[in-house]
Chain A
Amino acid sequence: DAGVIQSPRHEVTEMGQEVTLRCKPISGHDYLFWYRQTMMRGLELLIYFNNNVPIDDSGMPEDRFSAKMPNASFSTLKIQPSEPRDSAVYFCASSLEPPYGYTFGSGTRLTVV
Chain B
Amino acid sequence: ILNVEQSPQSLHVQEGDSTNFTCSFPSSNFYALHWYRWETAKSPEALFVMTLNGDEKKKGRISATLNTKEGYSYLYIKGSQPEDSATYLCASGAQKLVFGQGTRLTINP
Contacts and interface: CB of A to CB of B under 8 A. Distances in A.
Interface in B8-57: 31-32, 34, 36, 42-46, 49, 51
Interface string B71-101: 0000000000000000001000111111111
Interface of A: 31, 33, 42-45, 48, 50, 55-56, 91, 98-107
Contacts of B46: 101-103
Tell me whether chain A's interface is mostly helix, strand or loop, or mixed.
strand
B83 to A, nearest CB: 19
B55 to A, nearest CB: 11
Question: 3 tightest A-B contacts by CB?
Answer: A101-B46, A99-B32, A104-B43
Tell me whether chain B's interface is mostly helix, strand or loop, or mixed.
loop
Interface residues of B, number: 22
A101 B43 contact: no
A48 B102 contact: no
Contact of A42 (B49, B51, B101): B101
Contacts of B97: 45, 102
A101 B95 contact: no
B34 A101 contact: yes
A99 B49 contact: yes
A98 B99 contact: no
Contacts of A50: 95
A98 B93 CA distance: 9
A111 to B, nearest CB: 16
A95 to B, nearest CB: 8
